[in-house]
Amino acid sequence: MKPRTKLQKTVSELSNKLSEITNAHKRWATEHLFAHEAYKCKNELWCSDCGGAWIDTNNSELGAIILGDSTECPYCHHKLKVKVSRKKKSTDEVYMSILQVVGGFQVIRHVLCCKCAYKKTAYTTISSHIRYSFFETVQEWITADGKRTVMAKPMNMGGNGWIYSSPLSIKDEYGSNGYYHYGDIYAIYGYLYSKVELISELKKRGISRKFPDVNPSRLICSLLKGDNDAELCLKTGQMSMLKHMFKEGYYQLRYKPSFNICNRNHYIIKDASMWNDYVGLLLYFHKDVRNAHYVCPKDLKTEHDLLVNKKRDIETRQRREQERMEKIRHEKERKENIARFYKKMEKFFGLKITDGSITIRPLESVTQFYQEGKAMHHCVYTNEYYKLSDSLILSARIGEKRIETIEVSLKTFEIVQSRGTCNKNTEYHERIISLVKKNIGLIRKKMAS
């Protein structure tokens, strides 16, 4: 979009005067950013740095090149990591970030570095087997008070690639270009060019030319906006905690009083994630987290593991106690259900409906429900039909053979369902239904007694 504000116009003018990416930048990128690999197929290798191919003549068990080990290219003499692959072309893309000071702005230039390597063969006719391309895609112009202006190339639909031929222009990082939110450039975390230029405000806040291994855009904006915790980590040398804060995305110390105790005792936290977990465990055990004896352990891992095991033992005992109490509660509930069942069913004890061959009787105990469900392969026991206060469950049999299980509503005195084995109807289904309907009066009488 066109620059509208005074700040945007200033940034646009300065950006147009900015020099191109220098040969020094490109040499550093080609040397440090790309993987130096040799691709091995059978006994032939080729170099991703020069494209040269050679035969591994070391066939002895001790001398043969092992995958993952390093070897030296006989042509360019680079040390290469050996990878198994049949490919004859290798491509790679990485970002390089350059920190510069221009017109009082802290500028972060994000350069997409591309490498394409071809294997040299007798049939290749290309002029160069290694090609490098460099595209400056984004510039971040940050003022001394942390206000950021973004200049970037436009992107293709869907945000799946830069339009390299288009010039850089002002972008609204909080809005969108229709397809891509430029606020997401925080996700660009490339390799930082070795020579770093910083504005004086950043130097005052603890950043030196040895820039910490943290996303530069996030750290710079955070510091210039007054992030005291990040500044504290920088000035006390607590780099592990600084990295952990920015990886979590909170940018604040979780246990700052304990962290200050560490600084007073010149204790450097080497594993911030483990230290945070350790302090959390100290709080769980109600220890004094402002006591250097606890928060500055000589062996953090040992102390952390001891507390983890101790907490695990406590939680195991608690879980066993909960299971024991759950069993007691379940047993009590089971007895109450049985008592309620017998109170409901005592009116129907002795009920018998028969037409001479089919006999229908109520299930008179929870055990009978279990036996009925197991024999008939349905859910009369599993779904706890014995708990239903308004249903009467009957079993139809011929002799000792179970035929169907019938549910009768004690509210409407209608047959709710009648199920045979595996919930299927039997040849006696209509006969059973008719027999129960004829004797509904008997069930009503038992209910009223």
pLDDT digits (tens, 9 = 90+) for 164-182: 888 888 887 654 444 345 5
List, as one string, the DSSP characters of 305-349.
Answer: HHHHHHHHHHHHHHHHHHHHHHHHHHHHHHHHHHHHHHHHHTTTT
Q: Is the pLDDT of residue 260 over 90?
A: yes
Q: Is the pLDDT of residue 155 over 60?
A: yes
pLDDT over 70 for what percent of the chain? 92
Give the per-residue pLDDT at 286: 95
Element housing 28 (H / E)? helix 23-32
The span from the CA of 49 to the CA of 52, in Å, is 8
Residues of the chain with CATH 3.40.630.30: 353-448
What dotted CATH number matches 353-448?
3.40.630.30
Parallel, antiparallel, or unpaired for β 130-142 and 70-72? unpaired
Higher pLDDT, 159 or 344: 344
CA 200 to each of CA 105, 128, 176, 209, 237: distance values in angstroms, whole numbers, following the listed order: 10, 44, 32, 12, 19
CA quadruple 290, 294, 299, 304: dihedral sign: negative
Tokens of residue 166, six digits: 């288009």
Give the per-residue pLDDT at 241: 94
Parallel, antiparallel, or unpaired for β 53-55 and 44-47? antiparallel
Q: Is the pLDDT of residue 62 over 90?
A: no
Give the per-residue pLDDT at 342: 86
Q: Is 72 helix (H, G, I), strand (E, B) or coil?
A: strand
Q: In what order do the strands lie in the sheet with 53-55?
A: 53-55, 44-47, 37-41, 79-84, 70-72
pTM value surpassing 0.75: no
Give the per-residue pLDDT at 177: 44
Contact 44, 53 (CB under 8 A): yes
Q: Is 265 helix (H, G, I), strand (E, B) or coil?
A: coil
Element housing 112 (H / E)? strand 105-118
Average pLDDT, the chain: 87
